[in-house]
Amino acid sequence: KQEVTQIPAALSVPEGENLVLNCSFTDSAIYNLQWFRQDPGKGLTSLLLIQSSQREQTSGRLNASLDKSSGRSTLYIAASQPGDSATYLCAVNSGAGSYQLTFGKGTKLSVIP
């Protein structure tokens, strides 16, 4: 059974710092991996989708990498801003006819002005 772990559970950084969020998964046979952002009382917003054949994806100040063989992904946020404060969730799709996403519990990020 696929399990997704995100470390740390919470992170606080001063504004302007670059930071890395980590995600690991137990079964490397994945079809893709997505990073989401969740704001309090809100739904999830998809940030980046990495297919299993890709190594990284970039969107603005965000860069996500995928090392499928080692079961790891990182989300790099450059020049953090207070508006980046949210919970970041990692989710994997293990395919094989299933469309389920398996989620980690998230990393709660606070960017201090």
Partner 1 sequence: GAGVSQSPSNKVTEKGKDVELRCDPISGHTALYWYRQRLGQGLEFLIYFQGNSAPDKSGLPSDRFSAERTGESVSTLTIQRTQQEDSAVYLCASSLQGSTRNTIYFGEGSWLTVV
Counting contacts by CB under 8 A, is residue 26 touching partner 1?
A: no
The residues pairing with 113 across neighbouring beta strands, listed in sequence order, are none
The structure tokens listed for 85 are 């404060």
Determine which residue in the list 104, 107, 109, 111 makes contact with partner 1, applying CB under 8 A. 104
- In the region spanning residues 57 to 96, those forming contacts with partner 1, defined by CB under 8 A, are 89, 91, 93, 95
**With binding defined as CB under 8 A, does residue 46 bind partner 1?**
yes
Q: Does 8 bind partner 1 (CB under 8 A)?
A: no
40 binds partner 1 (CB under 8 A): no
Q: What letter represents residue 76's amino acid? A: Y
DSSP tag of 83 = G
- Cα(86)–Cα(106) distance, integer angstroms: 10
Q: Which residues bind partner 1 (CB under 8 A)?
A: 4, 31-32, 34, 36, 41-46, 49, 51, 89, 91, 93, 95, 98-106
